[in-house]
Amino acid sequence: MEYLLVVAIVLLILLPGIFLFYSQSQRTNADLGVKQLQKIGHDIVDNAEIVYRLGPPSRLVLKESFPDNLANLSIINDPAQKIYELVFVSRLGGLPSESSFPSDVDIRGIFTQEDYSGGLKNVKVEAKRDGTGTYVEISID
């Protein structure tokens, strides 16, 4: 009988500690994912602006490690209003979270789910010219 009482007290002490440790590690992982996305987004946009100013045929290849929790990657491109944004949608704690990175230059790109799946990726940032002017093409291998 005393053994049951000792086991019950030990469990009462251990279970809250285990829960707190688990929830804190989940928050830390989510924070790391957000910081990683912020770094990737800023790297891509900053290098796109550099390549744009250098002009065609300038090109850079960035090695970026994408997190596993990305749900979508897209570019919002509205030349009439001069709005150019790189947008990441991630799943943090099951809820979608959007991270937007505005650019001062015309950026373009179309991405598949394989492009933004987790892992090490080569991000190609290349200045190009068409009938409307200079723009930066972003692609992921």
User: How many Å apart are CA 68 and CA 29, to the nearest integer?
Assistant: 11
Q: Is the pLDDT of residue 93 over 70?
A: no
Model confidence at 28, pLDDT cuts 50, 70, 90, reads confident
**What's the distance, CA 78 to chain centroid?**
22
> From residue 108, how far is each of 26, 45, 127 by CA, in Å?
34, 11, 10
Domain count, the chain: 1
| Mean pLDDT value across residues 49-56 | 95
| Mean pLDDT value across residues 42-64 | 95
At 68 the pLDDT is 85
| Mean pLDDT value across residues 4-9 | 88
Q: Is the pLDDT of residue 84 over 70?
A: yes
Domain boundaries, position 60: 2-140
Predicted TM-score (pTM) of the model is: 0.80
**Cβ atoms of residues 136 and 125 within 8 Å:** yes
pLDDT in tens, 42-51: 999 999 999 9
Q: What is the mean pLDDT of the chain?
A: 89
